[in-house]
Chain A
Amino acid sequence: MKKIFLLTLLLVTQQATAQNRIASLNLCLDQILLNWLPPQKIASVTWLSADDHYRKAPLPKHVYLNRGRAEELLRLDPDLILVGQFGAQRAAARLRNLGFNVVAIPDAYSLEQLLDQLSALEKTLGHNAPLEKQKRRLEKLLVQPVPRARASALILSANNITYGSGMLEHQLLERAGFANLAAKQGVEQLGRVSLEEVVAAQPDLLVLYGGEKDFAIAHLAARHPVLKNYIDSGRVYTLPAELGFCPALVAADVLQQLTEKRKSLVEQR
């Protein structure tokens, strides 16, 4: 029995290390590959990853930018194709039928799903130091007890969107010891919050969603002079844009920063 186990383990590790040409059909998985894998192992990422808005890590020259079509990847002959839960499903099915090693990695919309996603990646990619480090860090943060001295927070994103219960952003706020005012007002998933409601709710921390540096009508609310008080007194935290499309990269950082922010807010009182 032990022998069989060792043999299987050997096979699995061999499979994991044999993947020298990995392709991705999903924006988040693109980012994970670009950030955490040596460039020579990446064969292709989606065309969206060429946009600086989504990408922090450098894009190696040899990496092919695919548009989610089976024929593009067929030509590249990758050892492993990563695909998300949604999107490019037709191409994935076609490639699977053609005998390619296509692995679906679950999307993460909550902390629990995020840990599942990291486990699935670990299982598929084999030993990977940055990935393991990120997972350990997140697990360590999540076992810490939720702080007692609570402060209130409210998220104001583009187009006056706020995040209520059932969202990853909400979970991170609660874990960091903030009471999410939107969830308290009964917002589930996404809701709308007007500037008036922000002013009336008087949250201790105003949380903005970052990423878009350009001027946009969608961001007029965040630029309105009534929020100047918040910005001047440092009671603003900006969530990184990655949290919206690939939380695996930044969730641990965000949780740590939010926890520190809450501590300093409580001390100021």
Chain B
Amino acid sequence: MSSSDKLALTLLLLALPLALVAALVSGPVSIDLGAALTQGWRSESSDAVILWQLRLPRALLAILVGAALGMGGAAMQGMLRNPLAEPALLGVSSGAALAAILLLYYGSALQASWGSAWQSGWLLPALAIAGAFSAVGCVWLLAGRGAGAGQLVLAGVAINAFLSALMALALNYAPSLFAMQEIVFWLLGSLANRGWDQLLLALPFVLLGAILLFSARNYLRALSLGEDSAASLGYRGRRYPLSILLGIAAAVGAAVAVAGTIGFIGLVVPHLMRPLVGQDPGRLLWTSALAGALLLLLADILVVNFVGAQELRIGAVTAFIGAPFFFWLIVSARRGQQL
């Protein structure tokens, strides 16, 4: 790692708290940040409530979700050794999204038996996480014993297509216009009106996912030499790929569950970070988590400051950032650079 790369990483590390401060001062209402900070968590003044109950959990959730998506993307690209891989490729996002859509669609049927859980609002995220795990489970079973990257991608594409078809089916039969709008908003992702409860719901799953992924970092390093070389280095068997898949399902599933499907972070961030860590897939995990957190937080600051009749959906903002990056990727590939 050259000194300029280290400098870039240090700058990234410093940028995160700065962006956090920027997120805390930006919003439709101007507040006295210093006073609100000193008044403390329990104060009932409106400035303190806005800071501690609205802006801080939202900014921290952006960091958590961004980190989960960035890390998930890095792990997925490392495991599949495919530059176009992203967490959604193996159906994690669509599994979570489908579970949520079904809940929104068949909601009233469940409401009777799960009344209290329903009212508290945690049933949707909990089912979404379960959906993510089931999607990964299906991919794993479909790919079969000793599956390589190729089989996993194929199984992932198949499951993803099937889940997308089911989502389209649910959309077709959406009972009311309101449900249709819900689903579309859900699929574009948003951090609006989220609070500490959503943050605390996602946190344990994202942490569990991070631990699983970081514990498999040496496998990812070995895998960059090829599957046979990794096997000759002792990384054989299903333990390692399974722990990566479960890690992605936990982290990304939880992120999708509380914020909806936010695209492109998992795809773009590892590409941006790879040159900075000397192509090391192990170190790429934490740098991608850092950059993903920063990127989503910046996107959310943009969303908060965007004036319009409706709040801009954060999935649309990240896609706006992500699509031009793709153009740049294609142009550099044409110039003969490595992806």
Where the two chains meet, the residues of A that have a C-beta atom closer than 8 Å to any C-beta of B are 51, 53, 158-160, 190-192, 194-197, 199-200, 202, 212-218, 220-221, 223-226, 229
Contacts and interface: CB of A to CB of B under 8 A. Distances in A.
A200 B236 CA distance: 59
A226 B121 contact: no
B311 interface: yes
A220 B194 CA distance: 7
B99 to A, nearest CB: 14
A216 B178 contact: yes
Given A160-B192, A218-B178, 19 more contacts: A53-B176, A190-B309, A194-B192, A195-B54, A196-B50, A196-B54, A196-B55, A199-B46, A200-B47, A200-B50, A214-B111, A216-B178, A220-B192, A220-B194, A221-B192, A223-B121, A224-B193, A225-B53, A226-B54
A18 B250 CA distance: 68
Contacts of A212: 178
Interface string B154-179: 00000000000000000000001010
Contacts of A190: 309
Nearest to A194: B28
Given A159-B310, A215-B121, A199 B54 contact: yes
B89 interface: no
A199 to B, nearest CB: 5
Contacts of B311: 160, 192, 194
A225 B197 contact: yes
B321 to A, nearest CB: 23
Interface of B: 27-29, 31, 44, 46-47, 49-50, 53-55, 104, 107-108, 111, 118-119, 121, 123-124, 176, 178, 181-182, 185-186, 190, 192-197, 260, 308-311
Contact of B107 (A160, A194, A215, A221): A215
B176 A51 contact: yes
Contacts of A197: 28-29
A226 B176 contact: no
A261 to B, nearest CB: 22
Given A51-B176, A196-B28, A221 B53 contact: no
B58 to A, nearest CB: 10
Nearest to B100: A217
Contacts of B31: 200
Contacts of A224: 53-54, 193, 195
Contacts of B107: 214-215
A167 to B, nearest CB: 15
B193 A160 contact: yes
Contacts of A225: 53, 195-197
Contacts of B111: 213-214
Contacts of A200: 29, 31, 46-47, 50
